[in-house]
Structure 1
Amino acid sequence: MAQQPDCLFCKIVAGEIPAIVVAEDERTIAFMDINPATRGHALVVPRDHARDLFDIGAEDLAACFAAAQRLAQSMPAKLGADGVNILNSCKPAAWQTVFHFHVHVIPRYDGDPLRLPWIPTPGDGDEIAAAGNELRS
Structure 2
Amino acid sequence: MRPAGHYPARMDGCVFCGIVTGGVPAFRVADEPDGVAFLDTRPVFKGHVLVVPRPHLVALADLPADALPGYFRFVRRIAVAVETGLGAGGTFVAMNNKVSQSVPHLHTHVVPRTKGDGLRGFFWPRTRYADDDEAQGYADRVAAALPAT
- Pair in the same fold by TM > 0.5: yes
**What is the CA distance between 1:99 and its match in structure 2?**
0.3
Q: Provide TM-score, normalisation by structure 2.
A: 0.81
**What is the CA distance between 1:61 and its match in structure 2?**
3.5
Give me the whole-angstrom Cα distance separating, in 1, the residues matched to 2:86 and 2:135: 37
The aligned residue for residue 83 of structure 1 is 90
**What is the CA distance between 1:76 and its match in structure 2?**
2.7
The aligned residue for residue 106 of structure 2 is 101
- Structure 1 unmatched runs, 5+: none
Question: What is the aligned residue count?
Answer: 135
**What is the CA distance between 1:122 and its match in structure 2?**
4.6
Relative to 1, partners in 2 of residues 1:62 and 1:33: Cα closer, same or farther, differing over 3 Å? same
CA contact (8 A) 1:64 1:103 kept: no
2:137 alignment partner, SS class: helix
CA contact (8 A) 1:76 1:82 kept: yes
Structure 1 residues 23-38: aligned runs within 5 Å? 23-38=30-45
Which consecutive segments of 4 or more residues in structure 1 shift more than 6 A? Answer: none
Q: 2:56 aligns with which of 49, 52, 56?
A: 49
CA contact (8 A) 1:65 1:103 kept: no
1:54 alignment partner, SS class: helix
Give me the whole-angstrom Cα distance separating, in 2, the residues matched to 1:16 and 1:75: 25
**What is the CA distance between 1:121 and its match in structure 2?**
5.2
Give me the whole-angstrom Cα distance separating, in 2, the residues matched to 1:39 and 1:125: 40
Q: Provide TM-score, normalisation by structure 1.
A: 0.88
| Percent identity (aligned) | 39
**What is the CA distance between 1:126 and its match in structure 2?**
2.0
Partner amino acid, structure 2, of 1:118: W
CA contact (8 A) 2:34 2:74 kept: no
CA contact (8 A) 1:33 1:43 kept: yes
The aligned residue for residue 124 of structure 2 is 118
The aligned residue for residue 15 of structure 1 is 22
Identify which range, 114-123 or 81-90, moves more after superposition: 114-123
**What is the CA distance between 1:74 and its match in structure 2?**
1.9
Relative to 1, partners in 2 of residues 1:38 and 1:4: Cα closer, same or farther, differing over 3 Å? same
2:92 alignment partner, SS class: strand
Q: Deviation per CA, 1:56-102, whole angstroms, max 9, x where unpaired?
A: 2223333322111111112232101111111100122xx21100000
2:72 alignment partner, SS class: helix
